[in-house]
Chains A and B, each alone.
Chain A
Amino acid sequence: MTTPVAETSQGGAAAGAFCDQCGRPADGAEHPRCTARRELEPPRYCPDCARRMVVQVTPVGWTARCSRHGERSSAG
């Protein structure tokens, strides 16, 4: 299953209950280091449940799989 996700630049999904970089609640709170990191990082945590995802980076993209919420990818 591939779930389309909202993109911010090449890397990562910003929308969701949890930060995809640090796994902490998003809560509308600012995560300046995560925001900066997202430019060159794929998502690491599921934005829906904060589980660590299995991430595969390829030369031109990435896929990230949550055991509960399925797969996301840079292709959307």
Chain B
Amino acid sequence: MAHSRTVTTTQSDILSTARTQVLEKGKGLSESQVLEVLRLPDDALDELLELAHEVRMRWCGPEVEVEGIISLKTGGCPEDCHFCSQSGLFASPVRSAWLDIPMLVEAAKQTAKTGATEFCIVAAVRGPDERLMTQVAAGIAAIRDEIDINIACSLGMLTSEQVEALAAMGVHRYNHNLETARSHFPNVVTTHTWEERWETLRMVREAGMEVCCGGIVGMGESLEQRAEFAAQLAALEPDEVPLNFLNPRPGTPFGELEPMAGPDALRTVAAFRLALPRTILRFAGGREITLGDLGARQGLLGGINAVIVGNYLTTLGRPAESDIDLLGELQMPIKALNDTL
């Protein structure tokens, strides 16, 4: 009995603290506070999600940012990110492919047709070479000729000249994920460092582009490392955090890891929202595997305020219309083009 009273007091303490500190004052939880949230028992999950939803509504509003993504250059990557089927170093079934400009424009049109206002062009590379930068420039110009949509890019690590070039092309947001806690990163990637990624993000911000930086949870990190990651993202102050759940890919070093349990995934969503009260928190890859169809609703009512709709880079997602219909049902309007959340 004494033990259960202790647990109850602790959980009510952290939720009560979060209510005052995050909901009322807008100050995100610290690393140690996030860890307390991640340790909450399943029977506190509903209360936690409700609080995270209140925080999102209070500090971000009801709008949801909808995005589509496309792989411009697939596979054959020289890096060894252990979760990724596009590394050329693993025996993955994913083969190299380049998308041509007409197909890129078509993908942007498909995205816009879903109601999405964001379109992210992604390449599986360490960093862009001249050929890729030329292709990106031509692709952005061709998209702008035909449709009105915000264009983001994710092309790996950049030089300062490349940062400037992308900003000049009108790329409004750049994605470069830190992927996981700094202390866990060497277990996930060995061909480059967490600090190299941080440097690209610093240059992106300096150039005036919005910073999109998140990662993948469920890659064997401890709860302490998950809390560390949330705190490191909070320190970066990104405009957007895409939150992925590991989808174990055949042939990769993480191919045999078990997908994260649903309650853990939802606790993580809520904990990240409480660490980052004003940030765009996007449901990204792996949610279908980890949470199933119900997960979209639970996430959107538990701190999420942005989604990737339709398919991902190499895998398929829920049909876009399922998510769009759900937003209508939940009375969450899609963020209009060029609005800021």
A45 neighbours in B (Cβ, 8 Å): 93
**Given the known A-B contacts A23-B93, A44-B94, A55-B97, are A60 and B315 also in contact in the complex, defined by CB atoms under 8 Å?**
no
Q: Judging by beta carbons under 8 Å apart, are B95 and A40 in contact?
A: no
Stretch among B188-196, B204-212, B306-314 lining the A interface: B306-314
Residues of B within 8 A of A56 (CB): 71, 74, 97, 99, 103
Residues A59 and B69 in contact, CB atoms below 8 Å apart: yes
- Tell whether A57 pairs with B315 under 8 Å between CB atoms, given A40-B288, A40-B289: yes
In the complex, whether B170 has a CB less than 8 A from a CB of chain A is no
Chain B residues within an 8 Å CB radius of A23: 93
Complex Cα distance, B288 from A39, in Å, reads 10
* Interface residues of A, count at CB 8 A: 21
Which residues of A38-65 are within 8 A (CB) of B?
39-42, 44-45, 52-62
- Of B97, B289, B310, which one neighbours A59 at CB under 8 angstroms? B310
B103 and A40 form a contact (CB under 8 A): no
Q: Among A42, A54, A57, find the residue whose CB has the most chain B CB atoms closer than 10 A.
A: A57
Contacts of B316 in A (CB 8 A): 10-11, 39-42, 57, 62
Interface SS of B by simple majority: loop
| A58/B97 in contact, CB under 8 A | no
Q: How far is the CB of A70 from chain B (nearest CB, A)?
A: 15
Residues of B within 8 A of A40 (CB): 288-289, 315-317
Q: How far is the CA of A53 from the CA of B69 in the complex (A)?
A: 21
Complex Cα–Cα for A23 and B95 (A): 14
Residue B114 at the chain A interface, CB threshold 8 Å: yes
Least CB distance from A57 to B in Å reads: 5
10 contacts between A and B (CB under 8 A): A41-B316, A42-B314, A42-B316, A44-B94, A54-B95, A54-B96, A55-B74, A57-B71, A57-B315, A58-B107
Other contacts beyond A55-B74, A59-B311: 9, CB < 8 A: A11-B316, A39-B316, A41-B316, A57-B314, A57-B316, A59-B68, A59-B107, A60-B114, A60-B311
